[in-house]
Amino acid sequence: MEEYMEEIRKRVAENGFAIIPVGRDIQSGEQPFSYTVGLEKFIGREVILLGVPPKLSQAFLSDVAKAAKQIRSLEPGVYTGLLEESFPVLMIEAELEQVREKLVFAYALSTEQHDIRALQLVLPDPGRRMPWEPGYNMFGQRLLLNDPDSPETMKTLSELPTHNIEAIVRGPAPDQPIH
């Protein structure tokens, strides 16, 4: 275990973050998930992705982490251009009670005793539908919210702002005023 912790520390020192994959738990039926360690110092939160196989989730989280480090911010909302130009993803503020037991290594490596907040990366379904849209199929991406299926939650999610990450990273064009 200490060797693995040392490997995580090394990756965080080299890249600013590490990605921790957690396989499917056959006994509990818990889907696989992955999360970042180290992003908290850049954006005040870690990022978690549920229900996606480890290799794929590591690629997605790596892209998200690199963008987050560059812009030094990532807020809840719908993002385009984060993973692929026209591929929208949802970032929601996960409930602390829902992530506390999942972020084991983030807590283990934290130098402070505090709650670690997390954004949940939620992918659209194959039809590019988001959770609040009719026919959305989660494919194991359980929302880490206390009341994820309530109409109020779906309304709140549908009203989140949309961000074009490429425009944020690139900044305004030379002929555009900065507001």
Q: Which tokens sit at 59?
A: 């690629």
Overall average pLDDT of the 100-108 stretch: 92
Better pLDDT: 87 or 16? 16
Question: Residue 139: its pLDDT value, please?
Answer: 72
pLDDT(1) > 80 = no
* pLDDT band for position 84 (cuts 50, 70, 90): low
Question: Residue 130: its pLDDT value, please?
Answer: 86
Q: How far is CA 7 from CA 20, 37, 115, 149, 178, in A?
A: 11, 12, 23, 38, 42
pLDDT(172) > 80 = no
Report pLDDT digits (tens) over 123-160: 888 888 888 888 888 777 888 998 988 999 989 988 99
Overall average pLDDT of the 8-37 stretch: 87
Residue 124, C-beta contacts closer than 8 angstroms, at least 6 positions apart: 87, 88, 89, 90, 130, 136
pLDDT(59) > 80 = yes
Residue 117 CB burial class (10 angstroms; 0-12, 13-18, ≥19)? middle
Residues present in the chain in total: 179
* pLDDT band for position 167 (cuts 50, 70, 90): low
Q: Which amino acid is at 105?
A: F
